[in-house]
Amino acid sequence: MRPRWSSGPAGLVLVRHGESEGNLADARAREQGAERLELDARDADVPLSAAGREQGGALNRWLHGLADDDRPTLVVSSPYERAAQTARLALEGLDVPLEMDERLRERDLGLFDGMTGKGIRARHPEEAARRDRLGKFWYQPPSGESWADVVLRVRSLLADLRHGHDGARLWLFTHQAVIMSFRHALEDLTEEELLEVDRRVQIPNASLTGYRREGDLLQPVSFADTSAVDADAGAEVTREPAQGGRGDGQA
């Protein structure tokens, strides 16, 4: 059921983090047919790539060009470095408070963090079969999270937002699976509808997904919009191949 908003933000914008070193490591692993990513940092500490930093700068220049009434009044970020770094770059020179909330963190892949789909199928064929049986939305990697688990923390955050920040223009810096989970919660998408969107659209780095409060609902106004990066000569749009993500070849 879609959440009702008698109070809370006037608008909500979900920003995917800029391109990260993890995104680059995932692309290299795919090209090489490797079973694991060559990446030493834990997932929470993976920084932006050079292109990701440019994308953060593009967001900053785009925000500086907006009218005061269109800029965010509050920004909340995933504490994972690639999202927090994107938020800090985007807000440079702007008087906008930045808070962290762990409910916006990336989906936890547990045992499969840093593995490619090829690696999971080779080393854990029983889990690959279980994932095929349960489906992408419900499958929970060993010691990790399913998409349904991510939706639960998104719903928890939304419940808090409904009881504060009245009239705020709220921006959330987060990750691909979390943005899709917001769509599931805010738009009441079915499992099949959500997975069809996921098959068709790989959310670009530094893209915007927006909602505006109309009556007692947050209505979608944009999805995976790259206008801020497109308008900047110093940055390029980047995204993963279908079914991408750090260690997410299976999930």
Residue 244 has pLDDT above 60, yes or no: no
Distance of alpha carbon 58 from alpha carbon 18, whole angstroms: 10
Instruction: Render pLDDT for 44-63 as a digit per residue (tens, 0 to 9).
Output: 999 999 999 999 999 999 99
Q: Which residue has the tokens 């390029």?
A: 236
Residue 17 has pLDDT above 90, yes or no: yes
Going by pLDDT thresholds of 50, 70 and 90, the confidence category of residue 189 is very high
Q: Check residue 246 and give its pLDDT.
A: 45
Distance of alpha carbon 172 from alpha carbon 77, whole angstroms: 6
Q: Check residue 241 and give its pLDDT.
A: 72
Average pLDDT over residues 206-218: 95
Residue 251 has pLDDT above 70, yes or no: no
Average pLDDT over residues 201-221: 96
CA 155 to chain centre: 15
So what CATH class is 11-230?
Answer: alpha beta
Average pLDDT over residues 9-31: 97
Contact in structure between 23 and 240 (CB atoms under 8 Å): yes
Rounded alpha-carbon distances, angstroms, from residue 14 to 53, 133, 140, 224: 18, 31, 24, 9
Domain boundaries, the chain: 11-230
Distance of alpha carbon 160 from alpha carbon 114, whole angstroms: 32
pTM for this entry: 0.95
Amino acid at 51: A
Mean pLDDT score across all residues of the chain:
94
Rounded alpha-carbon distances, angstroms, from residue 225 to 1, 13, 61, 83, 149: 26, 11, 16, 17, 26
Residue 162 has pLDDT above 90, yes or no: no
Burial of 79 (0-12, 13-18, 19+ CB in 10 A): middle
Distance of alpha carbon 105 from alpha carbon 107, whole angstroms: 7
